[in-house]
Amino acid sequence: MSRPGGRRVMALAGATIPAVLAALLPAPPASSASPASSAGTVHAAERGAASANAGEKIIGYFAEWGVYQRNYHVKNIETSGSGGKLTHINYAFGNVQGGKCTIGDAYAATDKAYTADQSVDGVADTWDQPLRGNFNQLRKLKKLHPGLKVIWSFGGWTWSGGFGQAAQNPAAFAESCHNLVEDPRWADVFDGIDIDWEYPNACGLTCDSSGPDALKNLMSALRSRFGSGDLVTAAITADASAGGKMDAADYAGAAQYVDWYMPMTYDYFGAWAAQGPTAPHSPLTSYPGIPQAGFNSAETIAKLKSKGIPASKLLLGIGFYGRGWTGVTQTEPGGTATGAAPGTYEAGIEDYKVLKDRCPATGTVAGTAYAKCGGQWWSYDTPSTIGGKMDYARNQGLAGAFFWELSGDTGNGELVTAIRNGLG
């Protein structure tokens, strides 16, 4: 079964390692302490002073577990040149357990000690400092780029199962999230909260039956608790098919409470359909022979707009990876296959930085690229196709673009650069 708009699995980044899983599985809340009373005021002032112009937002996900097998750290955001091009970083993911927001991997987030050569500013962590890990590195990155905002994202494909319980008491959930995001130990690191519920009143890794109003009620409670001084955002389905996931929840009603939505306009097609047909996982438009109507970015954006959601609250999603099949003989899309192509961390998926050299693009379809090398067939976005997608985003009046996720880019950040150049 295809999983449009958000099959973002922790296994992508090596979370299948037992030690990492042990660290990730049930993590308690970091604290229930109230934030400093001035935090909301400070955030409001920062947002007013340094928010990105409409249409120029570039939001990149940083995967918490990438510090393990992927060996991707906050410092890489800076050394790649991406730190100065991003407007926001979404830190992924916090968990949702027992109706509350909880830390995903406390070791990676707050405890991991960085040596001088691994640290953003070249200063080593000490044994007794109150905050280490990714959070402290993000604090250092923000000092280098005062306009950069960091948002803590909760849920994702793997951890969305907890939202059903959270939706039973939205106010209590919102209170727990506020206490965690605005914990005094790292309140200065975060500028808001992102909800990545896959999917309200529909099926993702598990199926949710919270009802069509659950998302609206949840986002309303979060906005009420976080106030106007913090960002409240959501990554949402890109399934624009008739009667699909987008019709299962009141995305229009919830939109009034969010600063923006990030429809996950990637993962429309992939090798979970093991025999094919081969199809680009992130088509900008439809094309003759597309396997499923409504599974493309333009129709996603059009449907959200038709529900009354303003373009200024929508971003276009870009995948920094490809999806591929093996056992393919046909160069163009629509070929048969025998299964998923091998990938570094998971079959059927590979980083752009690997594919650009290992399986260079041989053609384009529907505004994205594809490649056939040997018996493998891959689709992914390149700097050129990203340029076209950014033209579309500007012409549609969208708020900008976001992507999953930073470690898939090259060492010199060529995909982030393409987004930045494309948005102007």
Cα–Cα dist 5/107, whole Å: 29
For residue 359, the Cα-to-chain-centroid distance in whole angstroms is: 25
Cα–Cα dist 393/387, whole Å: 10
Q: Is 126 exposed, middle or buried (0-12, 13-18, 19+ CB in 10 A)?
A: exposed
For residue 107, the Cα-to-chain-centroid distance in whole angstroms is: 21
Distances, alpha carbon 23 to alpha carbons 90, 104, 149, 284, 314, in Å: 21, 8, 27, 38, 34
Cα–Cα dist 34/423, whole Å: 39
**Residue 198 catalytic?**
yes
Among candidate residues 198, 299, 350, 414, the one labeled active-site is 198
| Closest CA relative to residue 129, chosen from 111, 109, 115, 150 | 111
Structure-block tokens of residue 47: 């947002």
CA triple 406-412-413, angle to 5 deg: 35
Structure-block tokens of residue 41: 């005021």
| Closest CA relative to residue 321, chosen from 368, 285, 274, 365 | 368
3-state secondary structure 111-140: HCCCCHHHCCCCCCCCCCCCCCHHHHHHHH
Residue positions annotated with a catalytic role: 198
